[in-house]
Amino acid sequence: MQLSSISHLLLLLPIVLCVQPFLPCLTGLTSPQDVSALKALKSAIFPASIPPWSCLASWDFVAADPCSLPRRTHFVCGIACSPDSTRVTQLTLDPVGYSGQLTKVEPITKEKILFVLKQ
């Protein structure tokens, strides 16, 4: 590789580094299996039992990825993710009186996932 080619590549490096943080938004961070399980959980809850201010009400799968940061408008509470933001590791649901049939929900993964219901 010629020196001028290396120079051109080095000039592109800052651009790549600036754009890279925005790429996960396009591809999605959270594993598809985890997203599918979260969608199944939310759909198993009766919509009338989900107040607009609750954790589940902020779960908007079209507008945001569950593990993306910062969580200011979507998935604002209820979900904890792995350090690399690819796996859901914990669910903490607020005590608003959700009702539904959780038997419809498939396991998130084969790994042990902690589900905590705040009391």
> How far apart, in whole angstroms, are the C-alpha atoms of residue 39 and residue 111?
18
Strands 79-81 and 114-117: unpaired
Residue 96 lies in a domain: yes
Residue 50 lies in a domain: yes
Averaged over successive runs of 10 residues, the pLDDT of the chain (119 residues) comes to 54 53 58 90 91 90 88 82 90 86 58 41
Structural domain for 48, as ranges:
28-117
**Residue partners of 5: CB distance under 8 A and separation at least 6:** none
Residue 16 lies in a domain: no
Residue 33 lies in a domain: yes
Residue 61 lies in a domain: yes
Residue-level pLDDT at 92: 86
Whole-prediction pTM: 0.63
Q: 């979900």: which residue's tokens?
A: 79
Cis peptide before 51 (omega within 30 of 0): no
User: CB of 77 within 8 A of CB of 56?
Assistant: no
